[in-house]
Amino acid sequence: MTKEHKQDIGLVKKARKGSHKAFKQLYDKYQHQLFMVCLRYAKDKSQAEDFLQESFIKIFKGIDSFDPEKGFFEFWARKITINVCLENIRKKSLYTLNIAGVENIATVHEDALSMLSKNEMMEMIQEMPYGYKTVFNMYVIDGFSHKEIAAYMEISVGTSKSQLSKARNYLKNLLLERTITVKESHG
């Protein structure tokens, strides 16, 4: 058990007893990490803040159900946050499948991608339509399988795969545009 994990368990125990301070410490510790999850799924910062607030309220209200033996608090909180984001997207019918074709980019300079800051990468994700963004986030970053995505989004596995493919191409196009823009500005 890591020191971090022990510290989290201590805070969770205090929070369960109603310690306001413990709630605040947990929030301070994980706000950035969970906010990034929300930013990936949301269209903008404001919506991400709504998702984050709802997530933390769910986390704190359900803190009694957190079992330290089953995993880290961080993962448990992250899972709740992803669920809140997906629930909001589905509830508000934000998710629509993008059927328009995206030009397949054969080669992408991956070095250019790795040179991007997280903020820039986040901006690129946020620029994607909900359909691409959701499947991309779920599959590439959060590790869902196509089967899980299909079940959750109520689409077929094939659709999930095609949406992912289009999302990748969309991002590659964006990356290409950015690279060109950067080159032009330097040139």
User: What is the rounded distance in angstroms from the CA atom of residue 7 to the CA atom of residue 24?
Assistant: 14
Residue closer to other proteins (CB basis): 92 or 109? 109
Residues that bind other proteins (CB under 8 A): 18, 20, 23-24, 27, 31-33, 35-36, 39-40, 45, 48-49, 52-53, 56-57, 60-61, 74, 108, 110, 113-114, 118-119, 121-122, 136, 140-141, 168, 171-172
Contacts of 96 (CB under 8 A, 6+ apart): 129, 130, 131
Residue 99 C-beta: closest distance to other proteins, Å: 23
Residue 121 C-beta: closest distance to other proteins, Å: 6
Residue closer to other proteins (CB basis): 48 or 89? 48
For the chain, how many helices (H) and strands (E)?
Answer: 9, 0
Residue closer to other proteins (CB basis): 76 or 184? 76
Residue 187 C-beta: closest distance to other proteins, Å: 26
Contacts of 53 (CB under 8 A, 6+ apart): none
The CB-based long-range contact list for 18-25 (8 Å cut-off, 24+ gap) reads: 23/60
Residue closer to other proteins (CB basis): 32 or 91? 32
Nearest Cα to Cα of residue 134 among 103, 98, 104 = 98
Residue 36 C-beta: closest distance to other proteins, Å: 5
